[in-house]
Amino acid sequence: MRVAAIYDVHGNLPALDAVLEEAAAADVDVIVVGGDVASGPMPAQTLDRLRQLRTPVEWVRGNADRELADAYDRRATGTTEPSDDIWRLRTAWAAAQLRQDHRDLLAGFRDTVTLPVDGVGETLFCHGSPRSDEEIITAVTSDERLIPILADVSQRVVVCGHTHHQFDRLSGVTRVVNAGSVGLPYEGRPGIACWALLGDTVELRQTGYDLGLTATAIRQSGIPGPEELIADLEHPPGAQEVAEFFEAAAGIEG
């Protein structure tokens, strides 16, 4: 089995389309959508595109997926609370773009998915970590912190996301891969969508797409703070900077 691991799309449909085209050329058997798929400028269109694929899709829950389904429910019951936080505003806006079937799809995502991958073996796909969709694993996470996170994992390979930067590292006998972000990558380069191809080996891929057309689509979408989002895409931080930032945040939370 060959698998495309597509994480953190965040409603960036042009980036997703570029990755799907490359994944199709790679003749993958399964696409794992690893969480945080729709919260972004084109939420309904992103979910619809993935549901229309002929290639089987496995869905893993991310923290943004939970929050988006919750925001949909709050909107439906009239219990939405006012906020000036840009991320909450975007989540509330994205929830307003969805239908009930989109919400039900999000609510049905699984915490983890395990698949047999050619040449790699049984592989566990999660969002943040095997035990939480919010837990942080980075390229510089110490073994002291990582070993307990992986303590109950029997698979030799774990694929995660959440922190939007790619890496491939070992902790003891466990290989930990971050597929990166399709829709909002933190790799220091604009105009790329990051994902992972698992087959005979693990390939961290970066697929180019038209950022100018994407910026136009974001401005036309109606999402709150479009220029800030476009700036994040045009001037993304580098992977090392992001790893150190998230690792520091994990230390504070721990």
Q: Give residue 253's pLDDT.
A: 58
Per-residue buried b or exposed e for 16-36, using 16+ beta carbons within 10 Å of the residue's own CB: bbbbbebbeeeebebbbbbbb
Is residue 132 exposed (0-12), middle (13-18) or buried (19+ Cβ within 10 Å)?
Answer: middle
Q: For residues 21 and 4, what is the distance between their CA atoms, to the nearest angstrom? A: 11
Question: Residue 19's pLDDT is what?
Answer: 98
Task: List the alpha helices (DSSP H) in the chain.
Answer: 13-25, 43-51, 63-77, 86-96, 100-107, 143-149, 211-221, 226-234, 239-253
Q: Assign 3-state DSSP to the chain and report helix, strand, coil percentages, each to 5.
A: 40, 20, 40
Distance in angstroms (rounded) separating the CA atoms of residues 29 and 207: 19
User: pTM for the whole thing?
Assistant: 0.95
Which percentage of the chain shows pLDDT scores above 70? 98
Collect the ranges in the chain with pLDDT lower than 70: 82, 252-254
Neighbours of 204 (CB within 10 A): 16
Q: 174-180, long-range: CB within 8 Å, 24+ apart, which pairs?
A: 174/150, 175/202, 176/137, 176/146, 176/150, 177/5, 177/202, 177/204, 178/7, 178/137, 178/138, 178/139, 179/5, 179/6, 179/7, 179/34, 179/204, 180/7, 180/8, 180/204, 180/206
As to burial, measured by CB atoms within 10 angstroms (0-12 exposed, 13-18 middle, 19+ buried), residue 210 is: middle
d(CA 82, CA 47): 26
pLDDT at 250: 84
Q: For residue 80, give the DSSP letter.
A: P
Identify the residue whose tokens are 């961290």. Answer: 204
**Res 116: pLDDT:** 96
Are 76 and 66 spatial neighbours (Cβ–Cβ below 8 Å)? no
